Amino acid sequence: MATALDPLIVEYLKMFNCSSCEELFSKLKKIHTEHKPVEGEHVRFSIHDIKHLSTSDRIGTIIGDMNIYWSANKAAELIKDLRENPPKKSFENPVVQQYSSEAEYSAMTPLITNVDLPGSKYNFVGHGYYTELFFHMFFGNYSDFNEHMKKLSKQDLKKTLKTREGYPQFSPLFAPIIGRRMIHIERMSWLTEQNKRDIRMMYHGSNENRQVKILEKLLKLGADPNAHDILGGTPLCYAAYFRYDDTEKVVSTLLRYGANPNNSCQYNSILRFFCNTLASFPEYWSIIDLLLSYNAKPMDYEEAMKIRYKMETNYPLEYAVKLREACPKKKNECERTVCKVSTVKQCKACDFVVYCTPACQKLDWKFHKPTCKKKREEKALENNA
């Protein structure tokens, strides 16, 4: 009997317009030959790995590479179309493009910053249809940016702050946030040394790298911190995607000027987006505390459980506990994150949560212990009041 394919592989078959794993693997090999989107002479996994995704020891590589291959293939088509049909400017939030699966959305997210801006993976010089002001902001040239803004009338300033440009329909705030990657151009392994020199010489090499100062100025002038692009992504989303030493400052600045930490990005809340992208970067974990201080929440109960599980398996206990408290289980549902059994058996120590069996309580004790202690102390204070 043939083994049923993992649902994620079924989604990839649809994305690549293939009817079988064999056809999919053949297409991946062709994309690898044409675009070399990942290192190595060959695709880094086999047909067997695709057919048995859930048990493959290369599951992380497969998922990551599938998205990269899809992006590389889509980028070639998109770049050609953009050269023939440059996008027009607009002055409103664009209609959000909807995707049939989270897999396709996840593959599209990195693609839209890699087709028409300098430093792009698939089009390193970008396209020239962005305005001069956008490029001032993108390259962090505060002096030129400030001079430009000073000359605008109130009406023109208001219009400028609402301008949407490029294929993704980015508002001005996106330019300095994404443009921070220009400061770290040496990290872009897909660029040759000549590519890097060519990019540095844009604007005659006078790049000031003051993107964060430009971001602050735009917000003071009234730029909308909740403007979104064609994927529904906001400046906060891109702050999570482009992680550098100043990321916490960027996030803090956006939140301080009214960025909504509960805007969703189609398949993810801001909270889950940060939890997922920061898992391997301890130096940025304080941003999660920052989001929680602004009452960031999951999109729904299902996502809340995904966040809890992510924190329990990828973060230290301190953060797992914080996110469990921010993402509580349903009333009368076993407190252990992976258990969905209904029960009324309360934790005898705190009377705050329930467990279906002593076994579940024992397995969950490491995570519940800090909250249990806190609830007991709160109860004691109430009784003594």
Average pLDDT over the chain reads 92
> Do the Cβ atoms of 72 and 64 come closer than 8 Å?
no
Q: Strands (DSSP E) along the chain, which ranges?
A: 264-265, 268-269
66-95 pLDDT, tens digit per residue, is 999 999 999 989 999 999 999 999 999 999
Spatial separation of the C-alpha atoms in residues 196 and 216, rounded to whole Å: 27
Is 51 a member of any domain? yes
Tokens in use for 147?
A: 């001079």
Let me know if residue 144 belongs to a domain.
no
Q: Is residue 208 domain-resident?
A: no
59-84 and 21-35 helices, crossing angle to 10°: 60
Residue 226 pLDDT: 97
The pLDDT of residue 267: 86
Structure tokens at 279: 């898992």
Q: Does residue 363 fall inside a structural domain?
A: yes
Q: Does residue 8 sit within a domain?
A: yes
Q: How many domains does the chain have?
A: 2
> Which pLDDT belongs to residue 385?
66
What pLDDT does 1 receive? 41
Instruction: Point out the domain boundary residue: 85, 110, 131.
Output: 85
198 contacts 125 by C-beta, under 8 angstroms = yes
Average pLDDT across each block of 10 residues of the chain; the chain has 385 residues. List them in order.
80 94 96 90 94 90 92 92 94 91 86 92 90 94 95 97 97 97 89 88 76 98 97 93 94 98 88 92 95 96 96 96 95 96 93 95 96 91 77
* Domain membership flag for residue 194: no
Kindly state whether residue 224 falls inside one of the protein's structural domains.
no
How confident is the model over 187-225, as pLDDT tens digits? Answer: 888 889 999 888 888 766 567 899 999 999 999 999 999
Task: Single out the residue in 85, 101, 131 at which a domain terminates.
Answer: 85
Domain boundary among 85, 117, 145: 85
| 117: CB partners within 8 A, 6+ apart | 126, 130, 138, 166, 178
Looking at residue 379, its pLDDT comes to 84
CA nearest 271: which of 253, 289, 257?
Answer: 289
56 is a domain residue: yes
Q: How far apart are CA 227 and CA 223, in angstroms?
A: 9
Which residues form the domain of 378? 329-385
